Chain A
Amino acid sequence: MKELQKFAYPVFFIVMAVLPHMLDDRWQAVAITFLIFAVVALSQDIILGKCGMFNMGQALFFGMGAYTTAILNNEYGWSIIATIPLAIIIPALFGILLAGPIVHLRGDYLLVVTIGFNIVFVQVLQNNLGGVTGGPNGIFGLDSLSFLGYDLMSQISVYYFAFIVLLLTLWVMHNLAGSKPGRAMHYLREDQLAAESIGINTRVYKIFSFGLGAGIAGLAGTVYATQYSAVSPEAFEFIQSVLFFSIVLVGGSSVPGVLIGVFVMFVLPEIFREFATWRYFIFGFAMIAAMIMRPRGIWPATFGKIPKFLIKDNNHGA
């Protein structure tokens, strides 16, 4: 497996790097969508998969990043690139502020409260609070990408923008896995009481996971706003959060699993367009079947370098 992964990652990166030059416009757009939703799903994985917080409101942070970019660009004339810092910081701050009072809630309650945040967010957008969100129609006509005076109008440059964001996300997740916060989150996910008793401040790391996940999702939102040069509330409805939630768990909260999940959920329907109306009907069955056959996901995540015979195979944590 390790050898396969050593080989598979460079191949994946090279294929993804040359991919847009082999695709026509429509498939380039599909590929960009894949990259964006992969980043959001991975950011959800940090909160749900790595830290074990039942978060079903990830579309909120994604949407908040997209709206930050859209409002700054449309109302204040910032260039897209210049909005990136705020599109990361604002969702991350909201992630921390919203998570603060609720992370102590037991799993299912947390789930419902995060659904609530998502629904309140969409309703705020639709009711055009503060007069800057554009109401139900959203905001459209954003500028295209430009960097150091170069206009990057083409779809290919949006693709590479999305690809760089995905690479950054993978880099963050890779570093997280081997870092102190990553280990703390893993222990707290496995057994909160045990984690506390060895001196891990679980509250801090729970909130940290929300902040980090929200910031990355916000960055993905910037790419999303760039791709469509528009944002509207229905793209960040709570059903989207349900999809990200399911992708992480069906995938098994590992990077390959999540990427497979995003591919199945967002790319396959483009290939089988004649089955478009059957899409969610089939996905529903697939979700049930996947969970029955592989309750830990199709590609379960492993942690650290613990030899297999030392891992007790029970249904702990999640």
Chain B
Amino acid sequence: MDTFLQQLANGLTIGSMFALVALGYTMVYGVMRLINFAHGDMVAASAFVGLTIYTEVLGQATSLFAVIAIFLLTAVVMAIVGIILERVAYRPLREAPRLSAVVSALGASLVIQNGIMLVWGPRMRIFPELVPQVYWDFGGVVISLIQVIILVLSLVLMVALYLFVEKTRIGAAIRASSIDQDAARLMGINVNSVIALIFIIGSSLGAVGGLFIGLYYRGITFNMGWQYGLYAFIAAILGGIGNIPGAMLGGMLLGLFNAFIAGYVSSTWADAFTFILLILILIVRPTGILGERVAEKV
């Protein structure tokens, strides 16, 4: 039972990080029908940007103010990178065949990943200990302060995003663009602005996710984006890609699944089990758990 509760806590922590990153994938896919392969590397980059802001801008201060500043500044920097990414690599290919945009996304991913390597070096860097090491022991189940912060902050961000998309006029524009871009344009929605906006939101959420990865795992490498990105992308598909609550649910489920595999089976098989789960779910429900069964556009 202890293992179960412990892995439940770990799983929810990992899951909320997956969910934050998955939101970036799912929002871009929803509107542009494009797998943004560069998103995982953006997440990795934000951990490094946060590291540099900590050492260079804030002079290694670890007050509460400094932590908030790191999160905000990193989010702003990554939002700007996200807008540039969309302008340079995706906008010119909006009307091109689908696969051309996929290759462009892969190219952007290589550029960002190797850009990190050229700037910060190929070796693993250690993320600063911004949150004090506080642990609570609930009868054998250990929960750390970082886990609580990650879980609470992720949930707050996800609820805020959900309300924003469901309850505001801009949110309605995002939903409309993801249903039918042309019709949205006819209704007077500026689809270019909507796409810029989803890149801003997705990249900033990814930045928070990247900083969480740094805070939780401590070791950050230039090529970690592929792995976290792939997991987050699987989370988005599990939930039904293009569906915002689906990404949150998918992230949490995948995090729990991974934690239980690591706890009860073996972590060396985690990737394999994750993909087998994905393949099985896609065979049974090809559009994901919350995805609607839509007929293929002809």
Contact = CB atoms under 8 A, between A and B. Distances in A.
Contact of A285 (B102, B111, B113, B298): B111
B104 A287 contact: yes
Given A123-B269, A284-B111, A295-B100, A277 B275 contact: no
Contacts of B103: 245-246, 249-250, 287, 290-291
B275 A284 contact: no
A76 interface: no
Given A101-B283, A106-B296, A277-B118, A116 B275 contact: yes
Nearest to B230: A115
Interface stretch (B76-84, B87-95, B125-133, B176-184): B87-95
Contact of A317 (B93, B97, B115): B97
Contacts of A113: 275, 278-279, 282
B280 to A, nearest CB: 10
B115 A292 contact: no
A280 interface: yes
Contacts of A126: 268
A45 B95 CA distance: 23
B203 interface: no
Contacts of A296: 97, 100
A291 B100 contact: yes
Contacts of B102: 54, 111, 249
Given A283-B110, A284-B107, A291 B96 contact: yes
Given A113-B282, A246-B106, A288-B104, A281 B118 contact: yes
Contacts, number: 131
A288 B111 contact: yes
Interface in B210-254: 226, 230, 233-234, 237, 241
Nearest to A98: B279
A119 B298 CA distance: 32
Contacts of A277: 114, 117-118, 122
Contact of A116 (B109, B110, B279): B279
Given A101-B283, A127-B268, A315 B107 contact: no
A264 interface: no
B107 A285 contact: yes
B2 interface: no
Contact of A280 (B33, B114, B234): B114
B233 A284 contact: no
A239 B226 contact: yes
B272 interface: yes
A193 B107 contact: no
Nearest to A287: B107
Contacts of A249: 99-100, 102-103
B88 A288 contact: yes
B262 interface: no
A37 to B, nearest CB: 17
In this complex, which of A107, A246, A292, A315 has the most chain B Cβ atoms within 10 angstroms of its Cβ? A292
Contact of B101 (A123, A242, A291): A291
Interface in A172-225: 193
Contacts of A288: 88-89, 104, 107-108, 111
A299 interface: no
B99 A318 contact: yes
A281 B97 contact: no
A123 to B, nearest CB: 4
Contacts of B298: 193
Contacts of B92: 292
B275 A117 contact: yes
Contact of B35 (A106, A108, A120): A108
B106 A287 contact: yes
Nearest to B296: A106
Contacts of B111: 281, 284-285, 288
Interface in A259-318: 277-281, 283-288, 290-292, 295-296, 315, 317-318
B157 interface: no
B286 interface: yes
A116 to B, nearest CB: 3
Interface of B: 29, 33, 35, 88-89, 92-93, 95-104, 106-115, 117-118, 122, 226, 230, 233-234, 237, 241, 268-269, 271-272, 275-276, 278-279, 282-283, 286, 296, 298
27 contacts: A109-B237, A109-B282, A113-B275, A113-B278, A113-B282, A116-B275, A119-B272, A120-B276, A124-B272, A245-B106, A246-B107, A280-B110, A280-B113, A285-B107, A285-B111, A287-B104, A288-B107, A288-B108, A291-B93, A291-B103, A291-B107, A292-B92, A292-B93, A295-B96, A315-B95, A318-B98, A318-B99
Interface of A: 54, 101-102, 104-109, 111-113, 115-117, 119-120, 123-124, 126-127, 193, 239, 242, 245-246, 249-250, 277-281, 283-288, 290-292, 295-296, 315, 317-318
